[in-house]
A = this chain, B = another copy of it.
């Protein structure tokens, strides 16, 4: 599948021939369904989004519960190296000039930022956390830890405990919220 190829080699090095081979069709066959390689990539990313949303369901937890859920995500990711690699590789590759997934990741991070910042704000409103400002910086940091850990973990799984590190940062940032902002 195209997902595996993009995860294993990145967008630039993955070839349509290889993807077609695994799919059991010819390269021309792939391009019949997807206008171009770039469109195949965006389709792969959109498909993954749809899968993840479906799996999450509409009952998204609120406030502190949502934030705690991020640690579970980190833990579950340990069992999904393919997906982790896909996002780790493509998100960084997307910052290169004219990358076809650049807008996708811009939008994705904007959405993630909003979700985490909202969860922080909700937690404050619900009284789960002390009122605080600069929630944006905290939200960005929480997202960043999870992303950064993935790269380290892919390179050296034995040296990195994604769930433990995520848990530590999350706990520390939440505990520190009142003292700073």
Contact = CB atoms under 8 A, between A and B. Distances in A.
Contacts of A155: 94-95, 102, 105-106, 109
B92 A91 contact: yes
A92 to B, nearest CB: 3
A127 interface: no
Interface in A36-65: none
Q: Copies per complex? A: 2
A108 to B, nearest CB: 9
Interface string A106-139: 1001100100000000000000000000101110
B159 A151 contact: no
A29 interface: no
A92 B147 CA distance: 10
Given A143-B152, A161-B137, A9 B96 contact: yes
Nearest to A109: B152
A96 B165 contact: no
Contact of A147 (B8, B89, B93, B148): B148
B141 A149 contact: yes
Contacts of A13: 12, 96
By Cβ-Cβ distance, the 5 closest A-B pairs, closest first, are A144-B148, A92-B92, A172-B176, A148-B148, A147-B148
Interface of A: 8-10, 12-13, 85, 88-89, 91-97, 102, 105-106, 109-110, 113, 134, 136-138, 140-141, 143-149, 151-152, 154-156, 159-161, 164-166, 168-169, 171-173, 175-176, 179-180
19 contacts: A10-B10, A10-B93, A13-B96, A85-B95, A89-B95, A92-B151, A110-B159, A134-B168, A137-B164, A137-B165, A144-B145, A144-B148, A144-B151, A145-B169, A168-B173, A168-B176, A169-B169, A169-B172, A169-B173
